[in-house]
Chains A and B, each alone.
Chain A
């Protein structure tokens, strides 16, 4: 009975189906806001769904020099991991009783798996540009994980717990974490790390369309590419959800708080899209210097402020 319930959780409601639909709608928000910034009309709301269905109907090509298993398996591994992270996050947000000890660490770990799967898939494709993209993604992963973890630790220090239950309860009792000095600094760091995690513009170095022609995804076509894109859509969905949960009081679906919950989520997305549309792509060394320099210092200051009680 329990197994069936977990399966439904994973595949339908907070899991795959829900996450995929909302994730694709999120990519539409991204494209629409980008279009409005360019003074364009932008695509209709069903555009990401049309893209996905179209890709499912296209021919699947495995390049001659590729390792077939790794090449085709890795997008699915990434998708499974992203879905699992989303399930844990939403279960904790919908009912804090579903939280378990240390689940924020688990989610943080699982959210790196799509990036690792992308690196492995790129290496398996046998394309030099894809391998270059994978190498850049790996360096970027090392760069942004450190400030993100330290920014997360500020919340954990305040809540004195690693579980979402206590983090959400602390924010419900004593105000949202974003309201304090340390919380604001940690939030800024987390937004920039999210930018790199979702491979949005200043840090989309791994798939740089103008120099690497799609980078790590260059050889994917048809259904595997649909899975890769779904993967990115889900990451664009769950990373802001993670940030809102950690720093902005999480989501509540009771009464008028439904509206504020959705607005909080859309606000984080729009901040990320605005950063994406107003910044040029940086080089990989600049990105690493940015994360290990200013962002690391900022996150450590946030942690010290949190320890001092600000």
Chain B
């Protein structure tokens, strides 16, 4: 295992995108970053710019309006980047699957490394997802 990969496992910086979710998953993501779970122990930090990110957290079914932005964000991210989909909507479109403005789950448009199902997933589930992605590196 190379040194940079080892370092990547020790400091995955997270960028958070909402692609049309109902905000419930976003609240759970923020809960996971609170002092109670203290993800900075593992070097996980929420960053404000996609250029600094190592992990892309995507919540929500992809709507027609957000799709070009999502693809652009993925292109703008410095590689290697890991994509984690949070919530039932992102994994399968969930209850919105028949919506007129929904075009497919996230993995139809960009490659996805991990799915964290749940409506919304608990912060513990989210942390388990991140750990699984890091263990595949």
Looking at the complex, which of B2-10, B18-26, B123-131 is the stretch in contact with chain A?
Answer: B2-10
Contact between A54 and B10 (Cβ–Cβ < 8 Å)? yes
Contact between A50 and B52 (Cβ–Cβ < 8 Å)? no
Contact between A50 and B43 (Cβ–Cβ < 8 Å)? yes
Contact between A56 and B4 (Cβ–Cβ < 8 Å)? yes
Contact between B51 and A61 (Cβ–Cβ < 8 Å)? yes
Looking at the complex, which of A38-46, A102-110, A188-196 is the stretch in contact with chain B?
Answer: A38-46
Q: Is A96 an interface residue (CB 8 A)?
A: no
How far, in whole Å, are A293 and B98 apart by their CA atoms in the complex? 60
Given contacts A57-B7, A57-B8, contact A218 B43 (CB under 8 A): no
Tell me which of A61, A212, A214 contacts B76 (CB under 8 A). A61
Contact between B49 and A60 (Cβ–Cβ < 8 Å)? no
How far, in whole Å, are A217 and B4 apart by their CA atoms in the complex? 22
How far, in whole Å, are A236 and B115 apart by their CA atoms in the complex? 39
Q: How large is the interface on A (under 10, 10 to 19, 20 to 34, 35 or more residues)?
A: 35 or more
Given contacts A41-B41, A221-B78, contact A213 B48 (CB under 8 A): yes
A91-131 CB contacts (< 8 Å) to partner B = none
B36-51 CB contacts (< 8 Å) to partner A = 38, 40-41, 43, 47-49, 51
Contact between A214 and B47 (Cβ–Cβ < 8 Å)? yes
Tell me which of A38, A54, A218, A220 contacts B7 (CB under 8 A). A54
Which A residue's beta carbon lies closest to that of B44? A43
How far, in whole Å, are A35 and B8 apart by their CA atoms in the complex? 21
> Contact residues of B with A, CB < 8 Å?
2-5, 7-8, 10-11, 35, 38, 40-41, 43, 47-49, 51-52, 54, 76, 78-80
Q: List 14 A-B contacts (CB under 8 A).
A: A43-B41, A43-B43, A44-B41, A54-B8, A54-B10, A54-B54, A57-B5, A58-B80, A59-B80, A61-B76, A210-B48, A218-B49, A219-B49, A221-B51
> Contact residues of A with B, CB < 8 Å?
31, 35, 38-44, 46-47, 49-54, 56-61, 209-210, 212-214, 217-222, 225
